[in-house]
Structure 1
Amino acid sequence: MAKRKEESNSVLPEDILAKLKETKNELLKEEQRLSEEKEAQRLFERKEREKNLSFAELLERHGDQGNKF
């Protein structure tokens, strides 16, 4: 019953309303995709920075946590 009230109170035609909802869903998907890409880029850059660290910097960062042979 609440759904009928919502439809009758709408000023926009149904086709325009459907198109707006579709556009909203597309924008949400695009936003999520961009967020995932940004996170992947951040992780890649972090790995690249760690790859370029010197032994002294790695030792300072991680301490003497390695296994002794």
Structure 2
Amino acid sequence: MAKKKKDNRTRADVTREKETKDDRLTLKEQLSDSIFEKLQAKKRELKEEEIQKEQEEEARRAFEKKQREKNMSFEELLSQHGDKGSKY
């Protein structure tokens, strides 16, 4: 049979531990409302910039792909797409 470990903490230790957990403030509580709103606005702005950059990158890749296909020779196009004569 396994023996139970005895908890050596006193009631005062447990109470102090609970008080310190309750006394901790979150970052939102520590900052003033105006500063918190500025941080939230900056977060939204950065997220929008990131989305815009992703869209620009996607458009650039599509344009480059189109340019590569435009500059391919007939032989390269035929080898890439195969003989799909039934299409025409």
Shorter-chain TM band: 0.7 to 0.9
Q: Once superposed, what is the RMSD of the aligned Cα atoms? A: 1.5
Runs of 4+ off more than 2 Å: 66-69
Give the total of aligned pairs: 62
Q: Could you state the TM-score of these two structures normalised by the residue count of structure 1?
A: 0.83
TM-score, structure 2 normalization: 0.65
Q: CA–CA distance in 2 between the matches of 1:28 and 1:59?
A: 43
Q: Describe the superposition over 1:12-61 as per-residue Cα deviations: whole angstroms up to 9, x where unpaired.
A: 00000000000000000000000000000000000000000000000000
C-alpha displacement of 1:68: 6.6
2-side partners of 1:60 and 1:68: how far apart?
16
Superposition deviation, residue 66 in structure 1? 3.0
- What CA distance in whole angstroms lies between the structure 2 residues aligned with 1:13 and 1:60? 65
Identity %: 48
SS of 2:85's equivalent in the other structure is coil
Match of 1:18 among 15, 37, 48: 37
Quote the residue 1:46 is aligned against: 65
Q: Look at both structures and tell me which one has the larger radius of gyration over its CA atoms.
A: 2
- Tell me, in whole angstroms, the C-alpha distance in 2 between the residues paired with 1:68 and 1:31: 41
Question: Which structure has more RCO (C-alpha within 8 Å, separation ≥ 6)?
Answer: 2
Gaps of 5+ in 1: 1-7
- Secondary structure, in 3 states, of the residue corresponding to 2:30? coil
